[in-house]
Amino acid sequence: MKLSQWIKYLARRDTTFAGEFAAMQRLAGADCPRYFVDVGANDGFYASNSFPFAARGWQCLLVEPHPEAFARLQQRHRKHPHVRCHAVACGTEPGRLRLWTGANRDTTHATFAPEVHAAAVPDWAADSIEVPVVRLDQLLREAGFPTRLGILSVDTEGWEVEVLRGMDLSIWRPRLIVTEDTDRGLAEKRTLLAEQGYQQRLTLGVNSFWTSDR
């Protein structure tokens, strides 16, 4: 972590990469339901959208299928009863999928769509593991989360559309949705969210921020 990031963390417990924490606070509003869902939570600290909210006592549901990343995530929140960690992936249907991790079992850019990284990293498909997949709405029901969620963050390296289609957005209504933007599925994601009444309010780095008045 860079010195500027450490200062930001020490001053505000902000672990986001490019100031997403302040943007999420502003767009979600002071009366936002204190429920945070983070799909692709990684280790729960480095460039984490959810950590600043977990540190402030929000009810959090953190999803991370990569075994090494999940071990660090679970260890980090072992004393936090308001944080639930799940070692699964989210998709449109339950089952099992191959998670591509690239060389050396990369935990930061693991993906179900290796073509996202193929151009920049030619040997990206060098290593993979099989992981369980569930629908996000199943996890939400099991956690007892309300349908009026606070913030949903999806950072899954090109798998965002599949995650969003794994929950019925006519029922589950996050106040704010934050998604990583990659070329894969970008147009489909925008169409899906627009059809469900969400409007893009901000782009910050590789993330887009969506809210709805419904």
Cβ count within 10 A of residue 58: 18
Nearest to 65 by CA among 47, 45, 39, 83: 39
pLDDT recorded at residue 127: 83
Structure-block tokens of residue 168: 């019925």
* pLDDT, tens digit, 9 for 90 and up, residues 104-120: 676 888 899 888 876 55
123 confidence band (pLDDT: 50, 70, 90): low
30-74: per-residue pLDDT in tens? 999 999 999 999 999 988 999 999 999 999 999 999 999 999 999
Q: Taken in order 129, 132, 135, 139, is the CA torsion positive or negative? A: negative
pLDDT score recorded for residue 30: 96
What's the domain count of the chain? 1
Q: Is residue 45 part of a domain?
A: yes
Closest CA to 145 of 84, 212, 70: 84
Q: What is d(CA 80, CA 185) in angstroms, rounded to the nearest whole number?
A: 35
Domain assignment present for 78? yes
How much is the pTM? 0.92
For residues 164-173, give the mean pLDDT: 97
* Residue with the larger pLDDT of the pair 9 and 19: 19
Task: Write down the pLDDT at residue 75.
Answer: 97
- Token duo for residue 141: 């029901």
Q: What is the pLDDT of residue 185?
A: 92
Domain carrying residue 18: 3-209
Mean pLDDT confidence for 132-140: 98
2 class by beta-carbon count within 10 Å (0-12 exposed, 13-18 middle, 19+ buried): exposed
**pLDDT confidence of residue 115:** 81
| Structural domain includes residue 214 | no
Question: Average pLDDT, stretch 69-82?
Answer: 97
Asked if residue 62 is part of any domain, the answer here is: yes
Q: Which two tokens stand for residue 13?
A: 């417990």
* Residue 13 belongs to a domain: yes
Write the CATH number for 57: 3.40.50.150
